[in-house]
């Protein structure tokens, strides 16, 4: 009888808060350890050898070129929405001619990199996790090993490089299209002078902002690739496991993007202060 088992079950899992805290702590440490080991293996393979062209170009195409439409569409709408919202506030203060600095500053410093990264996490990150997860479930990763290919070198390195190197381009595209959208709404709908739009943009947005935005986007790209590939390799069994891996990849990447953005924003401001103290002019 099934009831007889419960009375002799020796390993009843702990259910007190102490057990719960202990279990969560162990799980967090294990997860951090696994991710660190994963990053270490990835770094070793990155140093050891680059993937073959036959492997890497299709992934660059998938990650970079095929993300352009979605990045363009979201960039355009975000630029236009920014113009609409900023104009409303600025016009009350009679500062509407400054709209270019608000739109371009926001897009270049924050929204462009974050937007491109979120789009990449949604479109590519979850697809990477699902693809690798499916390969794991269907023993294709074992097959890779059996055929003498290292799964990290063959699957992770090209995807990491694609995310890391393509995201600056996507960020630039998102910023460019967003600026165009903002310019279009500001000048063609609200009647702000195009001259004022660009002159205030030029005054408030420096090359330093563009460069830090691009570097920021590269760190987002690296985080997305690492998290998505790691989730794929940790995928549970069956269709449910693959679905969960894809969702977790997106959620974890999204949180990582926001956390990194916050940390990098703080660091950038400190860097600017240090450069100013050293007498270096940022333009």
Partner 1 sequence: MFGFRLTHKRITADTRVSSSKRMEFGSVEIPPTTDTSPRKMSVDRRENHATAIEIRNAFRSFGGQAILRDLSLEVRKGETLVLIGESGCGKSVTTKLLAGLLEPTSGKVLWDGRPVRGRPENERRRDRLRLGYLFQGAALFDSMNVFENIAFGLRENTTLTEQQIREIVFERLREVGLTDNVSSKCPSDLSGGMKKRVGLARALAMSPDIVFYDEPTTGLDPVMSGVINDLIVQTQARRHVTSVVVTHDMNTVRRVADRVIMLVPLNCLTADESQIVFEGSCSEVFETDNPRVSQFVRGEIRTGSVSSRHESRECNAA
- The residue among 135 and 222 lying less far from partner 1, judged by its C-beta, is 135
Q: Which of 229, 254, 69 is nearest to 163 (CA)?
A: 229
Chain residues in the site for partner 1 (CB under 8 A): 1-2, 5-6, 9, 54, 134-135, 138-140, 142-143, 145-150, 154
Compute the distance between CA of residue 206 and CA of residue 103 in angstroms, rounded to an integer.
14
Q: Which of 94, 122, 132 is nearest to 250 (CA)?
A: 122
Output the smallest distance, CB 27 to partner 1, in A: 13
**What residues contact 168, with CB distance under 8 A and at least 6 apart?**
214, 217, 218, 221
Output the smallest distance, CB 125 to partner 1, in A: 18
Residues across the chain: 283
3-state class (DSSP) for residue 13 = coil
Place of tokens 């660190």: 36
Output the smallest distance, CB 143 to partner 1, in A: 4
- The residue among 2 and 92 lying less far from partner 1, judged by its C-beta, is 2
Q: What share of the chain is helix, strand, coil (3-state, %, to 5)?
A: 85, 0, 15
- The residue among 58 and 69 lying less far from partner 1, judged by its C-beta, is 58
Compute the distance between CA of residue 131 and CA of residue 155 in angstroms, rounded to an integer.
10
Largest CA distance in the chain: 85
Output the smallest distance, CB 9 to partner 1, in A: 6
Output the smallest distance, CB 189 to partner 1, in A: 46
- The residue among 143 and 189 lying less far from partner 1, judged by its C-beta, is 143
- The residue among 129 and 135 lying less far from partner 1, judged by its C-beta, is 135
């Amino acid at each position: 009888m099934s009831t007889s088992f419960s009375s002799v079950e020796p390993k009843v899992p702990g259910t007190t808060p102490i057990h719960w805290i202990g279990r969560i702590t162990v799980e967090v440490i294990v997860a951090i350890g696994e991710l660190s080991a994963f990053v270490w293996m990835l770094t070793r393979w990155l140093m050891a050898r680059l993937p073959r062209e036959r492997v890497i170009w299709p992934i660059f195409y998938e990650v970079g070129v095929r993300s352009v439409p979605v990045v363009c569409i979201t960039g355009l709408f975000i630029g236009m929405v920014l113009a609409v919202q900023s104009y409303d506030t600025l016009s009350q203060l009679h500062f509407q001619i400054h709209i270019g600095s608000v739109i371009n500053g926001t897009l270049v410093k924050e929204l462009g990199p974050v937007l491109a990264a979120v789009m990449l996490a949604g479109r590519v990150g979850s697809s990477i996790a699902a693809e690798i997860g499916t390969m794991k479930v269907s023993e294709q990763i074992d097959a890779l090993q059996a055929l003498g290919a290292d799964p990290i070198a063959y699957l992770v390195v090209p995807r990491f490089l694609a995310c890391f190197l393509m995201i600056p381009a996507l960020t630039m595209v998102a910023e460019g299209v967003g600026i165009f959208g903002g310019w279009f709404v500001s000048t063609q709908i609200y009647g702000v002078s195009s001259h004022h739009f660009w002159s205030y943009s030029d005054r408030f947005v420096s090359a330093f902002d563009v460069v830090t935005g691009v570097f920021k986007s590269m760190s987002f790209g690296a985080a997305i690739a690492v998290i998505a590939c790691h989730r794929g390799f940790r995928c549970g069994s069956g269709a449910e496991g693959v679905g969960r891996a894809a969702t977790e990849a997106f959620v974890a990447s999204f949180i990582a993007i926001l956390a990194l953005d916050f940390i990098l924003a703080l660091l950038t401001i400190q860097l600017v202060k240090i450069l100013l103290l050293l007498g270096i002019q940022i333009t």
